[in-house]
Amino acid sequence: DILLLFESADAQFFIFGLAAFLMAHIYYIVFFHRIRMAENIKSNPWLLVIVVLYYAALMHWLSPYLYDMKWPVRVYGIVISFMFMLAMHMSWLRQSIAGRWMVMGALLFVISDSVLAINKFYQSFSYAGIIIITTYAVAQFCIVKGAVLYFLSTKKE
């Protein structure tokens, strides 16, 4: 977030911010994957279909406006899509409340980043910044809340 604040001074800060968020999503991927394996949650191909359709539609819409950012945005989109797909598997946790918090957080992350991409590359609009930072902050809260609930429930077992 801090890196994106300096984007107006130097466009390189957007790339640095993108890389920082990419790393965060990779950590979330590892986190959700480990929970999925520990809980023996089977893959659901429909989740992949949902995520791929959304990713493809958004990339198709934004591609003409991405110019030299086409590949960085595509790679970032693939990573956040994979994170979201793994997070949706948390719906099948035995601790369903924890899973719902994590799914909601991942969904809000996708919304936040989608609004950011639309605002930056397609058409800027009023209140985009408020929408982006609010959905981002609530996303982080939801994922952490879900993780805490999950770990507290597994500690009892």
Task: Write the pLDDT tens digit of every residue in 96-129.
Answer: 999 999 999 999 999 999 999 999 999 999 999 8
Task: Write the pLDDT tens digit of every residue in 33-46.
Answer: 999 999 999 999 99
What are the extents of the domains in the chain? Answer: 2-156
Handedness of CA 110, 112, 113, 118 (dihedral sign): positive
Instruction: Check residues 11 and 98 and name the one with the higher pLDDT.
Output: 98
* 2 confidence band (pLDDT: 50, 70, 90): low
Q: Which candidate, 53, 75, 59, places its Cα nearest to that of 118?
A: 59
DSSP 95: S
User: What's the pLDDT at 1?
Assistant: 57
Q: Which candidate, 93, 82, 102, 83, places its Cα nearest to that of 147?
A: 102
Instruction: Check residues 52 and 155 and name the one with the higher pLDDT.
Output: 52
Q: 44: left (phi > 0), else alpha (psi -120 to 50), else beta?
A: beta
Rounded Cα distance between 102 and 122, Å, is 29
> What is the amino acid identity at position 82?
F
